[in-house]
């Protein structure tokens, strides 16, 4: 069953560029994983250093056992404590429906 992760980041204002420089290669690499479905990155319009990442994967167990341990995530994950003003918030959601423009 597909699973969606909503991850919210409060980035230190002087570290946003560094954060994105580490995150973008992770997103680029994730795209090639067999169990990856999609990801979207959003910015809070009222707080430009608050971002939300929404990732959907085919299987939660596989994400926990394999995906979060991929080597391409290591630099990004290790840098988070220095880049964020508070720990990231991770919520897990089960998709019920998706609608897209044709």
Nearest to 10 by CA among 38, 32, 40, 43: 43
Identify the helix (H) or strand (E) that includes residue 79: helix 74-83
Exposed, middle or buried: residue 96 (CB in 10 Å: 0-12, 13-18, 19+)? exposed
Query: For the chain, which residues make up each domain, given as ranges?
Result: 3-93
With tokens 């570290």, the residue in question is: 15
Note the pLDDT of residue 3.
96
Q: Is pLDDT at 85 greater than 90 in this prediction?
A: yes
Give the gyration radius of the chain's Cα atoms: 14
Tell me the C-alpha distance between 22 and 16, whole Å. Answer: 10
Note the pLDDT of residue 9.
98
Q: Is pLDDT at 1 greater than 90 in this prediction?
A: no
Q: Is pLDDT at 56 greater than 90 in this prediction?
A: yes
Tell me the C-alpha distance between 91 and 18, whole Å. Answer: 24
Q: For the domain with range 3-93, which CATH number is right: 3.40.50.1700, 3.30.70.100, 3.50.50.60, 3.30.70.930?
A: 3.30.70.100
Strands 89-93 and 47-57: unpaired
């Amino acid at each position: 069953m597909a699973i969606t992760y909503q991850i919210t980041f409060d980035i230190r204002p002087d570290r946003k560029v560094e954060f994105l420089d580490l995150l973008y290669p992770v997103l680029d690499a994730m795209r090639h994983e067999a169990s990856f479905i999609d990801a979207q990155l959003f910015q809070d319009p009222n707080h430009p250093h608050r971002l939300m990442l929404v990732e959907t994967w085919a299987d939660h167990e596989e994400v926990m056992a394999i995906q979060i341990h991929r080597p391409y995530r290591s630099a990004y994950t290790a840098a988070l404590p220095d880049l964020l003003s508070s720990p990231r918030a991770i919520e897990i959601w089960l998709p019920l429906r998706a609608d897209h423009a044709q």
